[in-house]
Amino acid sequence: MGLTQQLASPDPREREAAAHAVARAVWDPDAETVLAAALAAAAADEEDPAARRAQLEALPAVEGGLGDADLERLGRLWPAPPALDRLLARAGRLQVCAPARPSGAATLTEVRCLRGAPHTGLGLRTPEGAWVVLERIEFQGRAVARLETGRTARVLLSGPGARDLGEWDRLEADPRAREYVRLLRAPDPRVRELAAAGTADWPDSWDPDTGRLLCAALARAARAEADPEALESQLHALLQLGDHLAPPALALLRTLDPAALPAPVRPYLDELLAP
Say if CB 21 and CB 61 are below 8 A apart: no
Long-range contacts for 195-202 (Cβ within 8 Å, ≥24 apart)? 196/221, 196/230, 196/233, 196/234, 196/236, 196/237, 197/233, 197/236, 197/237, 199/237, 199/240, 199/241, 200/236, 200/237, 200/240, 200/241
- Going from the first residue of the chain to its last (275 residues), give the mean pLDDT of each consecutive group of 10, the final group possibly shorter: 92 97 92 95 96 94 92 88 90 95 89 96 92 96 94 96 92 89 94 97 87 94 96 97 95 94 95 92
**What integer pLDDT is reported at residue 1 of this predicted model?**
65
35: exposed, middle or buried (Cβ count in 10 Å: 0-12, 13-18, 19+): buried
**What integer pLDDT is reported at residue 146 of this predicted model?**
93
